[in-house]
């Protein structure tokens, strides 16, 4: 959506069209619908913009729930926005620290500001991109305790705020930026600001451990198994006793595993047992997998491979469990013969520590059978193996 499309969407005609389209079936014939709306006299650009918004609102329900139906989005803005459950966690840190005045630096479409404002925290939201700032203004219009301004945050006087939340841009023209010095604003600016005020900094979960400052609490967050962010907490909004944490947010609540140090403990190496486990990525990225494995009596199947095993079934929200049916050498021809003999057709291929492309291997196997299977291609005691497994949850 561009500036022109946004303006048309805000017109009375745009609001009416968007309201009418909100109830259409997601499987409706878009071409027929567009033709019908054009015959009814609606502007073609408005139709395209409104249909895109309906699609984005449906997609946004995963992050925003029912709030999505009253919001406006851009593709990039929705992709980069925090889930409301994660934004609420950030806002709770400020509330618990008694901070009532926060600057949202790089507010995007407004998800963090929405969560802060919902807790009666006054928010000054700033966004560099004009259209994104306009979307945030629309999305936050119902909150009198929020102001939105288009501005370069590096030129602001931050002394007037009691707390900061920062989400430096890590994309440029939809390409991912990996070097922290190329973030916008730069990581150096972010760290300098965070050391002046209580601050929450949102980063990608793959951010290097060696670039996490010692004065920050680092929390890797997974939502129902989807690793979404690394959050850094400074000053009054950090927990002084916690250095690292893995958090899992589910429909039932939050689970957390913490460490008071930056040093990682390796998992114990053991023989492949009857059960194989795929850990949540928050455990892996936080380097807390070894600590968790030791506490649960689990073993790794090979050095530096993030699969765990046991002889007795362990049930944990942190783990996807599989029963090991067969343990085979990794040989493509033998694997194809084995699976054909089992009348396998649809196949799920998982891998770790194996130089394969699952889609390519699936084509090579060319299975046509009537049953399905799950295989794991990995290293077991440094040997490449194929584990035929049965998912348990």
Cα–Cα distance, 346 to 368 (Å, whole number): 8
Cα–Cα distance, 57 to 78 (Å, whole number): 9
Angle at 30 between CA 29 and CA 31, to 5 degrees: 95
Cα–Cα distance, 177 to 169 (Å, whole number): 8
- Mean pLDDT across the stretch 254-269? 95
Contact in structure between 338 and 328 (CB atoms under 8 Å): yes
- Mean pLDDT across the stretch 119-129? 97
pLDDT for res 171: 76
**pLDDT digit string, tens, across residues 177-188:** 778 888 889 999
pLDDT for res 348: 97
Cα–Cα distance, 281 to 182 (Å, whole number): 26
**pLDDT for residue 173 is more than 70:** no
- Mean pLDDT across the stretch 278-291? 97
Contact in structure between 118 and 94 (CB atoms under 8 Å): no
Contact in structure between 373 and 390 (CB atoms under 8 Å): no
3-state secondary structure of 111: helix
pLDDT for res 350: 97
pLDDT for res 179: 82
Cα–Cα distance, 292 to 306 (Å, whole number): 12
pLDDT for res 148: 98
Contact in structure between 307 and 265 (CB atoms under 8 Å): no
Q: Which of 362, 392, 363 is nearest to 377 (CA)?
A: 362
**pLDDT for residue 218 is more than 80:** yes
- Across all residues in the chain, what is the average pLDDT? 94
In the chain, the largest separation of any two C-alpha atoms, in whole Å, equals 71
**pLDDT digit string, tens, across residues 32-67:** 888 888 988 888 899 999 999 999 999 999 999 989
Contact in structure between 67 and 117 (CB atoms under 8 Å): no
3-state secondary structure 209-230: HHHCCCCCEEEEEEECCEEEEE
**pLDDT digit string, tens, across residues 132-163:** 999 999 999 999 999 999 999 999 999 999 99
Integer CA distances (angstroms), 6 to 21, 63, 83, 127, 227, in order: 16, 22, 23, 17, 32
pTM: 0.92
List, in sequence order, the alpha helices (H) in 97-139.
111-118, 130-139
pLDDT for res 176: 79
Residue 271 corresponds to which tokens in the numbers above? 């023989």
Contact in structure between 385 and 328 (CB atoms under 8 Å): yes
Those residues whose C-beta lies under 8 Å from the C-beta of residue 325, and which sit 6 or more positions away, are: 388, 389, 390
Those residues whose C-beta lies under 8 Å from the C-beta of residue 21, and which sit 6 or more positions away, are: 50, 51, 54
Provide, rounded to the nearest whole percent, the portion of the chain with pLDDT above 70. 99
pLDDT for res 189: 95
pLDDT for res 34: 87
- Mean pLDDT across the stretch 16-21? 88
Phi, psi of 205, rounded to the nearest 5 degrees: -65, -15
Residues in the chain: 393
Q: Which of 203, 172, 177 is nearest to 190 (CA)?
A: 203
Phi, psi of 249, rounded to the nearest 5 degrees: -100, 125
- Mean pLDDT across the stretch 264-292? 97
Task: Assign 20 a pLDDT band (cuts: 50, 70, 90).
Answer: confident
Residue 53 corresponds to which tokens in the numbers above? 């918004």
pLDDT for res 300: 97
Q: Which of 1-5, 41-45, 80-84 is the most confident on average?
A: 80-84
**pLDDT digit string, tens, across residues 350-379:** 999 999 999 999 999 999 999 999 999 999
pLDDT for res 181: 84
pLDDT for res 180: 82
Task: Assign 174 a pLDDT band (cuts: 50, 70, 90).
Answer: low
**pLDDT for residue 175 is more than 80:** no
pLDDT for res 32: 86
**pLDDT for residue 259 is more than 90:** yes
pLDDT for res 172: 72
């Amino acid at each position: 959506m561009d500036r022109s499309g946004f303006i048309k969407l805000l017109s009375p005609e745009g609001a009416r069209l968007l309201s009418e389209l909100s109830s259409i079936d997601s499987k409706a014939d878009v071409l027929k619908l567009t033709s019908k709306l054009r015959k009814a006299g609606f502007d073609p650009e408005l139709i395209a913009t409104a249909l895109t918004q309906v699609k984005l609102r449906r997609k946004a329900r995963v992050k925003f729930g029912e709030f999505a139906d009253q919001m406006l989005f851009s593709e990039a803005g929705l992709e980069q926005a925090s889930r409301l459950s994660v934004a609420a966690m950030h806002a709770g840190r400020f509330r618990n620290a008694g901070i009532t005045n926060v600057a949202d630096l790089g507010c995007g479409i407004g998800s963090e500001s929405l969560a802060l404002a919902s807790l009666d925290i006054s928010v000054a939201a700033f966004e560099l991109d004009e259209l994104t700032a306009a979307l945030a203004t629309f999305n936050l219009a119902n909150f009198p305790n929020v102001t939105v301004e288009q501005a370069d945050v590096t030129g602001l006087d931050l002394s007037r705020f009691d707390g900061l939340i920062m989400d430096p841009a890590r994309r440029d023209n939809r390409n991912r930026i990996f070097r922290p010095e190329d973030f916008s604003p730069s990581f150096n600016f972010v760290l300098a600001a965070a050391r002046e005020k209580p601050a929450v900094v949102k980063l990608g979960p793959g951010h290097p451990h060696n670039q996490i400052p010692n004065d920050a609490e680092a929390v890797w967050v997974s939502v129902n198994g989807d690793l979404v962010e690394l959050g850094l907490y400074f000053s009054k909004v950090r927990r002084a006793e916690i250095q690292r944490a893995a958090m899992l947010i589910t429909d039932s609540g939050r689970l957390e595993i913490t460490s008071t140090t930056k040093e990682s403990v390796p998992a114990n190496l053991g023989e492949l047992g009857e059960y194989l486990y795929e850990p949540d990525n928050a455990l892996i990225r936080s380097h807390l997998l070894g600590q968790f494995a030791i506490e649960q009596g689990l073993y790794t199947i090979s050095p530096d491979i993030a699969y765990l095993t046991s002889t007795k079934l362990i049930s944990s929200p942190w783990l996807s469990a599989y029963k090991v049916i067969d343990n085979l050498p990794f040989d493509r021809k033998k694997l194809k013969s084995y699976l054909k003999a089992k009348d396998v057709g649809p196949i799920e291929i998982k891998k770790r520590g194996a130089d394969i492309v699952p889609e390519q291997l699936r084509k090579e196997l060319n299975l046509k059978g009537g049953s399905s299977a799950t295989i794991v291609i990995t290293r077991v005691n440094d040997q490449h193996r194929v584990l035929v497994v049965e998912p348990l949850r």
